[in-house]
Structure 1
Amino acid sequence: MFLLHSHFFFVINSFFHIPKPVPPSVSLSFGRCFCFASTKVKVQLLSSIFFYPLDILVSLFLLSFFFLLLSISFFCLYYSFLSSDFSFSTHLSLYSFSLAFFASFSSISFIYYFFVSLFSLLLILYVSLLFLLLAFFFLTIFSYILLLFFFLIFFFFSSIPLLFFSFFFFFYPFFVLFS
């Protein structure tokens, strides 16, 4: 459980220590231009997205198991109160109290573990969605600027021959008439 909590805190720390994006002059590909994190952080994010639901399922399974132990301990305590044998009822009640104590403390720790896993998964999904929206926003603006740039270049380079041909076809009859 200590390793899982350190895994959670590593993921949180990796969000706050994100390296600077690679400038477009260094790389021409879109993926490297908008690379907000290093490869280690990306692998950590992907493993967290895949493993935190597994952590949540494991914690729910263990919670159900410890609640089953708690219900068994309450049943043993109830049976010890109904029993006529004093030594058996004392041993059974001590066993049920120890089982209930163990199950309640374990379930409290696994409830905490469940909420930590759930919170970290939601945080990772939120930050990943934020990064995706940010990258989509920058890619959209960049693609619009690139489209406008290509349109202006195409219009500029195509307008010179177009002007020449329109001038030629417009004034050609006059050249023919007056020659």
Structure 2
Amino acid sequence: MFSKNISLCILFFTTTFVIVNSDPASSVLDMAKGFGISKLSEFFGKKDFSSKDLEPNNLKDLTTKVLMTGELINVFTKSKNDLMNVANDQQKGALAKLGDVKNIFMNFKKTMDENPGSFALLKDNWKSVVEQIFKANNLQALVPLLGKINSSSSIYCGIITLLFPIIAAFINGHY
């Protein structure tokens, strides 16, 4: 009985370690923070999305749109290697430019942090950043890949969830 409990504990901790430290699982954990992939897909993936949708009305609106764009860039950056396998040529080109996109974004973020109340300045700078990120560096081409990030994470965790009871039952039956 004692060895059975130890075996189950080892299995549980091993499975937990694998889930927490694997890339697809970490993207599932990332969905819990920030805006989540479904919220990003909903906003950036709508049929008639354009850079005008990112034009802010006030400082709070600007902050929200900057955070959403930053989260979008982070999601693509974290999943870049996996996405290269499913991306078309245009999307691969956009994935290759993610470093530049992140630099452009971080430079704006620095300007935003240095000028927290200067909405007019930030609004003009943000418009330029959006043009550079979405048009010049073609980040918009990556938006259809959000669904692939979300579905691969769900499938991976579903498989782990399905296999855990089977492995536990196997160990339980043999010890």
**Given the two structures, how large is their TM-score scaled by the length of structure 2?**
0.27
Q: Whose radius of gyration is greater, 1 or 2?
A: 1
